[in-house]
Structure 1
Amino acid sequence: MSSSHSEFAELDDISAAAYGHAVELGRFIRADIAQRLALSPAEVEHAEKVLTLMRLLQPMPGDPNVLVPVGPDVATADLVSSAEKQISVLQQAVTDVRSRLMSLTPVYFEGRRLRNRLEAIDVITDPDTVQSMLDHFSTHCRHEMASVAPGGARPGALLQAARASALGMRERGVAIRTVYQHTARSDLATRAYVRDVTAAGVEVRTADQVIDRILIYDRETVFLPTHGHHDDVHYASGGAIVVREPTLVAFVYTVFEHLWDSATPFVPDTSRTPSTADDLKQSILRLMAKGYKDEMVARRLGMSVRTCRRHISEITEELEATSRFQAGYNVAISGMLDQHARQEPESG
């Protein structure tokens, strides 16, 4: 290591030999060392300088003009103590900085978790805010809107707003697909709405049972209800969860596609088709066989309890049962549901 780059000098052979003779003499005597080692004055001066820098030569107490040799251990302690102290201070500073910064790790990951959650999912409880967001997404939807609407008859005011929104999106070329429940077919206002929007290119189908209210915009944003009540026909009664996380959105869209593929096209000129009537009957039979009460059957199928009981009464009469319980029992042991399942075409 060069002395020009550090306070540590480089111990060469001449300086080492001069140190050895100084130890023999008990002091560094220039003339004597020059004579013994056959050194020039310049070489002696260089050796003295090196040994002094390396603390191997130190002034004699009481006579600073006389240099005496000290042991390498003493010289080492004297020479590196300052550097070791600096290193220790730097190491402590590094440790302190690392400790302070690493203490923020939980804060960082918690912040990332909250940010990801806020970016991926929003829970909106204010009905006006939900409706404002729905209006915004409907206005700015670019490619496709897919929806699932549980329940039977749609409220008139809701249908009027939905008609304007659907026709506006169709004018922009947005594809629209909607799944209702079979019970919606018996409502005159809903059939009139379906007639208007399907004439504009909207596709509407019905299923006996649906999972819950779903709205999907451009396969990028999903609206789900905060409370899974099938009798809620819109979000205002319980708020909405807005999902933007791509994997979750893709999953919900896959669920919609599965439901869509198994649903029946809604032809508004006929309120009920033989297939949907059979589907509704089979759904009631399945729920009766499971022991569900009238209220639960009605909720699952999106109809009023009164209408549900009328259907159950017809089925009970058809099965020649004297009670609802006996009808459910007859269904379970007759194999009617298994026979219906065997008659259904396999999905390809």
Structure 2
Amino acid sequence: MDSDLVPDLEDADLDVYGWVLEHRSLEVDAVASATGRDPEEVRRSTQRLRRAHLLHVGPDDTSVAFAVAPDTAASQLVAPLEVQIRERERMISGIRAELGRFEPHYLQRRSAGESLEVLENLQDVRGALNRASDACVREMLTSQPGGGSRVPEAMQEALRRDEAMLKRGISIRSLYHHTARFNGPSQAYVAAASALGAEYRTAHELFGRLIVFDRELAFIPAQDGSWGAVVIREPSTVAYLCSIFEQTWDLATPFSNAAGQGLEEVAREIHETIIKLLGAGLKDEAIARRLGMSLRTARRHIADIMEELGAGSRFQAGVAAAMRGLLGADPGLAAAEAGPGLTDTGVPEE
């Protein structure tokens, strides 16, 4: 409690207040005797009660006092605060009105029909995501590449947003890389949101970062490597993105299978995928990005694989893997690295 407005009240104050309420008197010795309090303690209590406007003492006779209704005392204390709040509200309205004059110029940057909008900074992206979440009425789909790179603060914000949506009956489905199963914060996030009804699956590779609301509004990363995003409202493009999500979702593994054999299966799939990517000629950085793991972790896996294959070079590892039939048929692995993809960009994770 703000001591400038009202002191921290104590149990003794209840006794003194009750006595005055019943006897309309403030004889210190009488109050002390009846309440079992020390006279000096009664005097200090009286001062606190008067500062809290809970006790009024007669101007001529200090032994005459009366207790004030708590609601009345509270109204007297909060009156200055309410004046300040109203003043702050006027200031807020003024700021919004003044800056709102620039809104038309900002909106001019949207493409015709507002089917495409570029958000250039993290604050705008988060604000747009929060507004879209509030307006969502049916479903949210997300693809979140990266196994352990999610910022805890962003995850807390996303969990609060998701919780509000789930309580409104909105369906939430999210895709992660397999490596998310080995990340503590991601495990905790999924456990908390799953308990509220959200669904999560993981895959060894994802098409990129994507958030879709009600199959009408999609967010994808900006291509400049910033924390910006592109907001898409054009129906055919949003439907196409949703179809990519559904195809990946059907092939993904439920996150609930993370224990026991589930983790073993995930680890095996990651291991086999790295072998295929090595065979396709991808570099360490590209492999780490494709699988949503750190470069250090990717290099540790690669070193283990080369030792397992008895290879001294990537070329030898590729030959050995091919001879053992480990590469299989996986068209498009190298082609996906021909240009910057969704995972090369930076729509901030929820």
Aligned residues: 221
1:251 aligns with 2:240: yes
1:150 aligns with 2:145: yes
1:116 deviates by: 6.2
TM-score if structure 1 supplies the norm length? 0.60
TM-score if structure 2 supplies the norm length? 0.59
1:315 aligns with 2:315: no
The CA distance in 2 between the partners of 1:195 and 1:274, in whole Å, is 20
The CA distance in 2 between the partners of 1:340 and 1:253, in whole Å, is 23
Structure ranking higher on relative contact order (CA contacts 8 Å, 6+ apart):
2
Q: Who is 2:120 aligned against?
A: 125
The match for 1:199 among 195, 200, 213 is 195
Structure 2 gaps of 5+ residues are: 1-108, 332-350
The match for 1:281 among 249, 271, 276 is 271
Could you say what the CA RMSD is over the residues aligned between the two structures, in angstroms?
2.2
The match for 2:130 among 127, 135, 155 is 135
The match for 1:302 among 292, 299, 305 is 292
The match for 1:260 among 244, 249, 256 is 249
The CA distance in 2 between the partners of 1:332 and 1:206, in whole Å, is 27
Larger radius of gyration: 1
The CA distance in 1 between the partners of 2:253 and 2:277, in whole Å, is 20
The CA distance in 1 between the partners of 2:121 and 2:185, in whole Å, is 28
The CA distance in 1 between the partners of 2:249 and 2:224, in whole Å, is 20
The CA distance in 2 between the partners of 1:269 and 1:228, in whole Å, is 35
CA contact 1:181–1:302 (8 Å) conserved in 2: yes
The CA distance in 1 between the partners of 2:228 and 2:314, in whole Å, is 37
The CA distance in 2 between the partners of 1:160 and 1:307, in whole Å, is 26
Where does 1:87-102 land on structure 2 (aligned, <5 Å)?
none
SS in structure 2 opposite 1:303?
A: coil
Return 188-197 or 268-277, whichever deviates more. Answer: 268-277
The CA distance in 1 between the partners of 2:123 and 2:218, in whole Å, is 18
CA contact 1:191–1:268 (8 Å) conserved in 2: no
Residue identity opposite 1:117 in structure 2: A
Instruction: Describe the shift of the 1:335–1:221 C-alpha distance in structure 2 as closer, same or farther (beyond 3 A).
Output: same
Q: Who is 1:28 aligned against?
A: none
User: Could you list the per-position Cα deviations for residues 149-200 of structure 1 after superposition, in whole angstroms to 9, with x for gaps in the alignment?
Assistant: 1111122111111111111111000000000101111111110111111111
SS in structure 2 opposite 1:273?
A: helix
Q: Who is 2:218 aligned against?
A: 222
SS in structure 1 opposite 2:174?
A: strand
Instruction: Describe the shift of the 1:119–1:340 C-alpha distance in structure 2 as closer, same or farther (beyond 3 A).
Output: closer
Structure 1 gaps of 5+ residues are: 1-113, 230-236, 342-348
Q: Who is 1:169 aligned against?
A: 165
1:293 deviates by: 1.2
Residue identity opposite 1:144 in structure 2: E
The CA distance in 2 between the partners of 1:115 and 1:302, in whole Å, is 32
Return 122-131 or 315-324, whichever deviates more. Answer: 315-324
Residue identity opposite 2:264 in structure 1: P
Q: Who is 1:54 aligned against?
A: none
Residue identity opposite 1:301 in structure 2: L
The CA distance in 2 between the partners of 1:295 and 1:336, in whole Å, is 22
CA contact 1:195–1:268 (8 Å) conserved in 2: no
Residue identity opposite 1:248 in structure 2: T
CA contact 1:192–1:268 (8 Å) conserved in 2: no
The CA distance in 2 between the partners of 1:294 and 1:228, in whole Å, is 22
User: Could you list the per-position Cα deviations for residues 204-260 of structure 1 after superposition, in whole angstroms to 9, with x for gaps in the alignment?
Assistant: 01111112110000000000111286xxxxxxx431111111111111100110111
Instruction: Describe the shift of the 1:179–1:294 C-alpha distance in structure 2 as closer, same or farther (beyond 3 A).
Output: same
The CA distance in 2 between the partners of 1:276 and 1:269, in whole Å, is 8
The CA distance in 2 between the partners of 1:263 and 1:158, in whole Å, is 24
The CA distance in 1 between the partners of 2:241 and 2:329, in whole Å, is 32
- What percent of counterpart residues are identical? 41
